[in-house]
Chain A
């Protein structure tokens, strides 16, 4: 199955809108994590608008596919996608990180419809996804579990403990993404603690590992198709991405990891996303 030209156009347009949402909400909040939100947004948009079975009117529907944002700091991307999908009004985005908001600085399932689990401390999402995927196997429930990991996050030992669990239990109903933007907070991953050879690492842990361009909807789609075809083992899509993707002056800049744009920067950025 291929993405239709109409669907492709729709995804591109949705991603553009979500990029604008991410930048607006973080600037309004005066803080937050725009860089890593922009690097994973195209994958989130593909999942929520083309792939996953879900129903914004029934966030707790038992047969929904699940998405876990293990790199929780990128929740502006998740909030943009959830609001545009209809889980809550888009206006709520303006309250991000403020006292009494439904949109916490890191995802909190008790506050936000559509958020599957609370996260923010890195390293824990894959284990949780494994648990849900195991339960689906036990219950013979035909659902798919998607996980978004950061590349810096993959420096947490727990990610690799979980990777062994997924393979041990042949969790072919689980598909992980690594947002491989090559940056963490303090600089380049390769200068701090390299993950390479990353594809071989996942393969040697018993996974099907493929490399995709995380900003190409066709390639993200191909990755998802590959995950569906793969039986007897979990799949990871190592997505080559650019931190700050879509705004020229933010791309590949570590400083926009955890810093919102100033209002002036925001208007420049929004022009680039018209």
Chain B
């Protein structure tokens, strides 16, 4: 299985975009070596601004650059961007609806050993609730490149969540990312798994497990969390009658909530939300934490079995 670092792909794609457009500027807050914006910094030092450990200033400065006609890409770790600078994002980017691209790395709990302070299981909720904001979490490195290219064309505030570890590649190069559109990776009859980020891979594994038991699960990559692909959710309900969601995020306020908002109001059906329970992270190796927080495929398969009993 090919592995690709979503942040590595981001760093490389930014450099390509920088070559294609003079208008792109990049800002970071003393994590450029980790977010990979240092690739851009090396090639375009005059269009790169390292703001130091000042996330709130980072956001305000990006807003000013956008006002002045630049296209800012802004990076830090997910919790320091979405969390530390949340109200600045709300006031200075979302209310004025400015064209600022927030690309956070180190989302979720696969941040690993750094522990609770550095994990981010709240960012989908924090960003999704902001009017004008678009929220995207790519499934792998292949999709990351397409997402970064697409949001450079799209107008408006955007939050993209990437990860620390490398992800297995689940999409092929021919895949076309369309903002606001989900993508069905696997057809199924008995239930639909709707996932984002690393959980797309875990759901594909879970679907293989279930297949052995004669359960046919569809797997949908919902990389755009907002605006959510409501028509795709409705058709999944029509086709399979049961929805499982999976995300490397709190079970509160993220993809599961977004899908439930559609299902409960437009097309009621039994649901199971897989994610991090209402707990803070702990230190540990990323793979061990995935199991510790019950995000790996055996737990997803178990969730699916429970869900089918309620169908």
Contact = CB atoms under 8 A, between A and B. Distances in A.
Interface of A: 29-32, 72, 97-101, 103-106, 108, 118-123, 152-153, 155-157, 184-186, 189, 192-193
Nearest to A189: B52
Interface string B23-55: 000001011111000100000000000111111
Contacts of A193: 50-52, 54
B114 interface: yes
B7 interface: no
B180 to A, nearest CB: 32
B283 A121 contact: no
Contacts of A97: 113, 115, 283-284
A186 B50 contact: yes
Nearest to A151: B53
A180 to B, nearest CB: 14
Contacts of B56: 157
A181 to B, nearest CB: 14
A256 to B, nearest CB: 13
A120 B30 contact: no
B215 interface: no
Given A105-B113, A105-B114, A186-B32, A99 B289 contact: yes
B115 A157 contact: no
A98 B288 CA distance: 10
B285 interface: yes
A104 B282 contact: yes
A185 B51 CA distance: 12
B117 interface: yes
A72 B117 contact: yes
B302 interface: no
Contacts of A98: 283-285
Given A121-B79, A121-B80, A121-B84, A104 B53 contact: no
Nearest to B113: A97
A184 B32 CA distance: 11
A152 B50 CA distance: 12
Given A104-B115, A184-B52, 15 more contacts: A98-B285, A101-B283, A105-B114, A105-B118, A106-B116, A118-B116, A120-B114, A121-B83, A157-B57, A185-B33, A185-B34, A186-B30, A186-B38, A192-B52, A193-B50
